[in-house]
A and B are shown apart, each in its own frame.
Chain A
Amino acid sequence: MVGLATFTIVSNADVPLYEANLGQTPKREDAAHLQEFVAHAALDVVDERRWETPQTNLKLVDRFNDLLVYAHVTAGGTRFVLLHDARNEESVRAFFAEAHELYVKAALNPFHDADSPIECAAFDDRVRALGRKYFP
């Protein structure tokens, strides 16, 4: 049972494109701020680590108490960050790979701009379905 899985997409220009809570735990007001803080702090680490590997998947990049931060970077520099409370490498990797495909499809929509939030409902549905699949 996964309690926490918060998925964030941040563009190359540091614009948040998408955010979804895929876990079971309802967001607590104070926790939400903490999670956001941890996720954004991890972006700095992501920016360092992304040059160390040709892989898109950066695996575990940071941790804060019991929060684990996983990251994935597209070739275009868009960063996927997953805040998680369990070590779950394989599921996270698979989740990122599929989310990456969904992201590419959303980015191919001619009405999507590179630095504007992804507001497409179908994308949201599909990401949430992925969340249920990999973090049941």
Chain B
Amino acid sequence: MASRRAGAKTYEQVGLAAWQATEKVNAELFTLTYGAIVRQVLADYEDCVPEANAKLDAMGRSIGGRLIEEFNAKNEQQRCVDFRDTCETIAGVALRMFLGVGGHCADWNADHTSCLVVMETNPLADFVELPERYRDLSYGQMLCGVIVGALEQVQTRATCEWEKDALRGGDGFAMRVTLVGQIDTPYPFDD
């Protein structure tokens, strides 16, 4: 999708440039490390799937809160002007930069406060098949947490959940990102 900023690069081009400039790690190492984390979280919560989902989400949030600095530092980008711009940036730039996958936004609601961030592939889920007892596990929940945690640091409160999860029978991978509101920066005027 083309950027709406006149003369600017498309989100995809920005993402590819960021991907070029990013240090890479072996994909299997990354995928297996994530798998090991999920297994460990499940073990820690004694296979209680809802708690494991919540924990993965919380871990993701704290990663997102840190990663946003990296994202800003490595992207000499203007501020996002609106939520639409923000989501296109997540889909086109951030997913490419951190996961090496392409993505795009789809299915916007009428007032542009909610969309699907569709991922071309999900490297976290390579090799994975959910056993029956973990049917409700949101395996990639950490990724949703990362997005929420990162947005929180740039004064945007949002929710993010998997809407399509191929591990649970969906066709492909897509996250529903919904704007909840802006976080006002409290200025320390009464310092």
Listed in ascending order, the chain A residues whose CB lies under 8 Å from chain B are: 105, 108-111, 119-120, 122
Contacts and interface: CB of A to CB of B under 8 A. Distances in A.
A109 B28 contact: no
Contacts of A119: 131
A110 B32 contact: yes
B155 to A, nearest CB: 36
Contact of B131 (A105, A108, A111, A122): A111
B52 to A, nearest CB: 13
Given A111-B131, A111-B134, 19 more contacts: A105-B127, A108-B28, A108-B32, A108-B126, A108-B127, A109-B127, A109-B128, A109-B129, A110-B32, A110-B34, A110-B35, A110-B38, A110-B39, A110-B127, A110-B128, A111-B35, A111-B39, A111-B128, A111-B130
A120 B28 CA distance: 20
Nearest to B131: A111
Contacts of A120: 129
Interface string B21-32: 000000010011
Nearest to A108: B127
B28 A111 contact: no
22 contacts: A105-B127, A108-B31, A108-B32, A108-B126, A108-B127, A109-B35, A109-B127, A109-B128, A110-B35, A110-B36, A110-B38, A110-B39, A110-B127, A110-B128, A111-B35, A111-B39, A111-B128, A111-B130, A111-B131, A111-B134, A119-B131, A120-B129
Contacts of B131: 111, 119
B136 to A, nearest CB: 14
Interface in B10-63: 28, 31-32, 34-36, 38-39
A110 B42 CA distance: 12
Contacts of A108: 28, 31-32, 35, 126-127
Contacts of A122: 129
A82 B28 CA distance: 30
Contacts of A105: 127
A120 B132 CA distance: 10
A122 B129 CA distance: 9
